[in-house]
Amino acid sequence: MSINFWPSLQFIAYARIAQGILYTFDLEVLKRRFLLGGLYYTQCMERIEKMVSVVLLPVYPRTVSCLSVERTKFVGVKYLPLPNEIQKKLVGVVMALAMEIKTWFDCHKYIVRDDNLDLRNKVNWFSFGIIDRLQTARIFIQDENLNIRERFHLACTYYFEDYVQMLWRNMSRADRFYARRRLPRSRGLELWLRTLHRKIPLNWEEISRNEMRHFFRSNTLGMRRYFRNLRGAEMRYQCIHFALDSGNVHHFDLYLCLRLINTGELNAMFTRLQTTEFWELFQCFLQWPFQTIFLDIVNDFQRYINEDLFHALVTLILKYKLPMEWQEYPYVNLFQCFWNLLSTKFEDYVINDKELYVLVEYVLNSSNDFDITEYLNLINE
């Protein structure tokens, strides 16, 4: 795939400020209770909004009397609150990062089971507000205070071969028995246990030749690590197919794997995907911070968009993205561009859904005066 994601300095600044605000919360509570609704959610929102409202932006004088390599002490610097539009977006970015924490926990709660995971010091972030799952896994694996069974399970899940072998050597007979009998079964774990018994490394030629579908079931967490080792287009197709079909592939992992596939192979792969799998692919690029390349993805792969998929994406944006209390991205503008790109082909299909088309018309006609309250009333009518 030729589309690149290059986060702007503005994106990085949003993410850094949002992470600072997020880390004022108890992440061990947040990982379980975020988005559950009720009083806790309301208190979180109010606290985030209050913290964002007191963020101040320094405004420096525009005039410069002379050039100097020495540090300049500005006179008359003013500090102003962020504009309302930026405040709203920053609240949305904080919520997006909080969702990233919760999603990470939901994917790992049956691997690392301690109540207190010390997420504040162990979770590793990319500068643009996405958890680096590989580095985070490595940090947990290296923590000798963590149960060795969990460290071994994590190393197998993320295909850290050196750690798998090292931990296996250091495990007691009871720990090894537990790994063989009690760890959640997946084909990946079975292959690890077989190679450890034989004292040989994983054989990717053999895996690519013999495993196919079975290897990828319950195996999406490690795909960013093992994808490069897959041999042949069919094996790579099966990996992407099962990742999309599972519905729980992390959007950044998916993006990095797609980037490794050349255009010809990717087009051949996409001719085999079902509409539901395309929906999963496109919705991954409607998650922070990939909204900036969503339209590029749509433009490059619009030949694979049919009426059902177009209707589903319109529904996703208008009924699930726009009505959110927090907006980490200007979805009104995004939708208008998306509609203009494809509506000549599919508008009649959406018109038949009268309830949805009312929302379409409202968004298209309110580029400068979009009113979220009025929009929510339309949805609830």
Residue 7: which of 339, 329, 299 has the closest Cα? 329
For the stretch 139-193, pLDDT in tens is 999 999 999 999 999 999 999 999 999 999 999 999 999 999 888 878 889 999 9
Query: Which residues, 6+ apart, have CB-to-CB distance to 268 below 8 Å?
Result: 233
Helix (H) / strand (E) element for 58: namely: strand 56-59
Query: Which residues, 6+ apart, have CB-to-CB distance to 233 below 8 Å?
Result: 265, 268, 269
What pLDDT, on a 0 to 100 scale, did the predictor assign at position 48? 87
Structural contact between residues 122 and 140, judged by C-beta atoms closer than 8 angstroms: yes
Rounded Cα distance between 57 and 60, Å, is 10
CB atoms within 10 A of CB 219: 20
Statement: residue 68 has pLDDT above 50: no
Helix (H) / strand (E) element for 305: namely: none
For the stretch 267-304, pLDDT in tens is 999 999 999 999 999 999 999 999 999 999 999 999 99
* CB neighbour burial string for 166-179, b if at least 16 within 10 angstroms, e if fewer: ebbeebeeebbebb
Mean pLDDT of the region 65-75: 51
Which tokens in the block code for residue 311?
Answer: 């209707």
CB atoms within 10 A of CB 368: 6
Say how many CA atoms lie within 13 Å of 62 toward its Cβ: 0
Confidence band, pLDDT 50/70/90 cuts, at residue 83: confident
Confidence band, pLDDT 50/70/90 cuts, at residue 60: low
Statement: residue 228 has pLDDT above 50: yes
Q: Euclidean distance between the first and final Cα of the chain, in Å?
A: 42
Q: What is the chain's mean pLDDT, rounded?
A: 88
How many degrees, rounded to 5, is the angle at CA 212 between CA 225 and CA 263?
65
The one-letter code for the residue type at 34 is F
Mean pLDDT of the region 238-261: 94
What pLDDT, on a 0 to 100 scale, did the predictor assign at position 32? 72
